[in-house]
Amino acid sequence: MLNYYIVEGKIRNNIGDILQGMAAAEFLDEDAKAVDRESLALMNESLPGLLLANGWFMHDFSLFPPPPNINPIYLSVHIANSAMLHDDKIRNHLKANSPIGCRDRKTLNLFLGWGIPAYYSGCLTITTKKRRPVRTDNKGDYLLVDNIDHPVPDAIVNKIEKLTQKKLIRISHDPVSIEKSFDEYVRIGKEHMDALLNRYCDASLVITTKIHCALPCLGMGANVMLIHPNPNDPRLDTVKQFIDILSYEKILKTDSIIKPSVNINVLNAQKKYLTQIAIESVKNKTNIIRNPKSFGHLFIKNKAVITAFFYRMAIVTLLKTPFATPSIKRVFCKKSDLV
């Protein structure tokens, strides 16, 4: 059986997509092949395959889901556009391959609201292995990691440099070689990401706005600080459980800046939890939560199934009342129901 992992290959605007694929590939055979997340329906239909499918879903879901010969394990999934679940074919596919491991609780609630069994898994990138010993002194670089889509404002950069008395070295999470073929893009991107991970381990402090810089740094034990204009963004939930997030507003008002402490116990427990699910699923060539072989996995499955049933019942009941808000209707009604 062939092994696959996913990388976004259409827009190619964030090297974090490469990293998420790398995190999955660590649990697969050495010859595991990257496939384009935006065209999974075009995967080879002649041979059986196992797909460890994690990450951000997706720019265009017209070429989703993968064909029937592909056995997907959905772990650490984030749904960016709730309209994806308006499609009967997609919902049926996801339900048939549930429970779905969700990267954040907003995605979890979306699945449950449609009656699709799901559980909170957190993000697979926290299982990233360190590339070198982590620096423990203050003699390394102070790195600032953002990208062209969400650059850190100059006022924030200046304030951090003033408080730390260090010149920040700016690192971009924009991908490289985006004009190459998909396979070349993945190969070059992995080499570039490996170099960045090595550099993050050697830094005295990595200051970043990017989830997929902060999470692998936490997983490797690197010195990291996550800053953000809106720490209440639901996408940041998967980081908040491990480390406090500094808002731009707080940075501008503060007279000192200290690297937030990491909740090591929670971090290690989550890494162990995710690692076990990934290893056991790949070993058994099945979603180990869907086909459990331990009481712990059976408990997760049953909880997901029961919660999805009652959550969907509550949503359906709400939709029949005047109290259903426009956002509830937009998210949990098919387009045909809204006409």
179 — pLDDT class (breaks 50, 70, 90): confident
Task: Determine whether domain 128-260 maps to CATH 1.20.1070.
Answer: no
Average the pLDDT over 280-287 and give the result. 97
Place of tokens 């200046």: 158
Place of tokens 């949990």: 332
Residue 337 has pLDDT above 60, yes or no: no
Each residue's pLDDT tens digit, 15-24: 999 999 999 9
Closest residue by Cα to residue 88 from 259, 292, 337 = 337
Residue 160 has pLDDT above 80, yes or no: yes
Percent of the chain with pLDDT over 90: 87
Backbone angles phi, psi at 129, to 5 degrees: -90, 145
Each residue's pLDDT tens digit, 41-81: 999 888 999 999 999 999 999 999 999 999 999 999 999 99
Residues 6+ apart with CB under 8 A from 316: none
pLDDT at 339: 35
pTM for the full model?
0.93
Return the axis-axis angle of helices 182-202 and 211-220, rounded to nearest 10°. Answer: 60
Residue 29 has pLDDT above 90, yes or no: yes
Query: Where do the domains of the chain lie?
Result: 2-125+271-338, 128-260
Each residue's pLDDT tens digit, 77-119: 999 999 999 999 999 999 999 999 999 999 999 999 999 999 9
259 — pLDDT class (breaks 50, 70, 90): confident
pLDDT at 257: 87
Average pLDDT in the chain: 94
pLDDT at 14: 87
Average the pLDDT over 192-210 and give the result. 96
Helix/strand/coil percentages in the chain, nearest 5: 45, 15, 40
Average the pLDDT over 181-206 and give the result. 96
